[in-house]
Structure 1
Amino acid sequence: MFARSRIALAVAPAALLVLLSACSAPTTPAAPYPATTTASSAPMSSAPASSAPAPAAADAATLALGVATTGLGSILVDGKGMTLYMFTKDTQNSNASACTGQCLAAWPPLYGKPTAGKGADNSKLGSFALPNGATQATYNGWPLYYWKGDAKAGDTSGQKVGGVWFVLDKDGNPVKS
């Protein structure tokens, strides 16, 4: 019995160190969202570079927004089933994004003009021009984003991140529960 206790006491600090290092070194899964035409290892600035090319719009299949059933209920997804999010720091119907700089590395926008897929309301689809010349998709007036932590269709790990990122229901309202 004492030998097990000694082993547990000896292993506990090492396990704690592994857990802490995992928290401080973020991992980046393969991006399931559409890639952009720009590739740079330099950090993104909050001001768009006028000489940088605009990110490429997603393909037509991706831009066909739909509704999928998840543990969060019926939520908005792109045409490939990837979850889309809204940012509470954005202003609905403002045709502007408050996500800039490093925010965009974690929350890439859905670029392009969306179409209605299964379950999406065509009247809620929209888009607006960004300062860099790209077009960002909207639903019910909310700019749409992906979360870098979602690896496959149906993932919703971006829900409630920082208390400001939420999935949208079929009507385009944030799901906060």
Structure 2
Amino acid sequence: MRTFPAPLTGTAIALFLLTACGGTGGDAAPASAPPAPASYSPPGPSPDDSPPMTGMSPDGSPGEATPVPEAPVSVAESGIGRILVDGEGRTLYLFEKDKNGKSSCYDACAKAWPPYLTEGKPKAEEGAKENLLSTTARKDGAEQVVYGDWPLYYYQGDEKAGDTSGHDIEEFGAEWYAVGPNGKKITG
């Protein structure tokens, strides 16, 4: 039986596997090409483990909010009109139970409607009004973005940017609405 030096054996095995798995020739896509996305999914953690640029949790799941540096607020077109969105295009909502710019949504409510949190002054972009932006302190000390008189929230039922499934529904004792650029609820 003939034996080969170890480095040569490893090279031979690597070449065999490369050839058996499609190699780099022909019409096959390069091994490093990522698959085409089938649909939008919230961003996951970046290689440096920093949170995504939304107020959702680092894995993009609803139920918890992560503060965003200088939380961006902008205006986007939707099926219900021009609405406020975050930096990733996710719809922002108001809760009619909130009064005087203070949140009344905690515990189970905040899991279903995660607050839009910031680590610093929120930033108006693309149609949003800087003079309507502020923050309010939550019970845990986190700063929630406020637009006009309304603390802003996400809805756990929205799966991607542009969804407005939380608009005009009643939960946790009051109505929820998408917010217009004027700081008022979208009606109709």
TM-score, normalized by length of structure 2?
0.63
Aligned to 2:181: 170
Q: What SS class does the counterpart of residue 57 from structure 1 fall into?
A: coil
Q: What SS class does the counterpart of residue 133 from structure 1 fall into?
A: coil
1:145 aligns with 2:166: no
For 2:129 and 2:135, how far apart are their aligned partners in 1? 14
Aligned to 1:5: none
Aligned to 1:65: 73
**Structure 1 gap ranges (5+):** 1-29, 38-42, 45-54
1:74-153, aligned counterparts within 5 Å?
74-91=82-99, 94-112=100-118, 113-153=121-161
Q: What SS class does the counterpart of residue 103 from structure 1 fall into?
A: helix
Offset at 1:56? 3.9
Q: How many residues get paired?
A: 129
Which structure exhibits the higher relative contact order, with contacts defined as CA atoms closer than 8 Å and separated by 6 or more residues? 1
Offset at 1:71? 0.8
Corresponding residue to 2:55 among 34, 38, 50: 34
User: Does the aligned pair in 1 maintain the 2:56–2:114 contact within 8 Å?
Assistant: no
Deviation >4 Å, runs of 4+: 30-33
Aligned to 1:49: none
Decide which structure has greater helix share: 1
User: Does the aligned pair in 1 maintain the 2:95–2:177 contact within 8 Å?
Assistant: yes
Q: What SS class does the counterpart of residue 84 from structure 2 fall into?
A: strand
Offset at 1:36? 4.8
CA gap 1:103/1:72 in 2 versus in 1, 3 angstroms: same
For 1:75 and 1:156, how far apart are their aligned partners in 2? 10
Give the root-mean-square deviation of aligned CA atoms. 2.3
Offset at 1:59? 4.0
For 1:80 and 1:135, how far apart are their aligned partners in 2? 19
For 1:31 and 1:88, how far apart are their aligned partners in 2? 27
Give the counterpart letter for 1:142 in structure 2. W
For 1:90 and 1:116, how far apart are their aligned partners in 2? 22
Give the counterpart letter for 2:147 in structure 1. Y
User: Does the aligned pair in 2 maintain the 1:75–1:169 contact within 8 Å?
Assistant: yes
Identity within the alignment, %: 40
For 2:140 and 2:78, how far apart are their aligned partners in 1? 34
User: Does the aligned pair in 1 maintain the 2:115–2:144 contact within 8 Å?
Assistant: yes
**Structure 2 gap ranges (5+):** 1-40, 44-53
Offset at 1:75? 0.6
Give the counterpart letter for 1:132 in structure 2. D
1:38-57, aligned counterparts within 5 Å?
56-57=66-67
| Bigger radius of gyration | 2
For 1:36 and 1:148, how far apart are their aligned partners in 2? 11
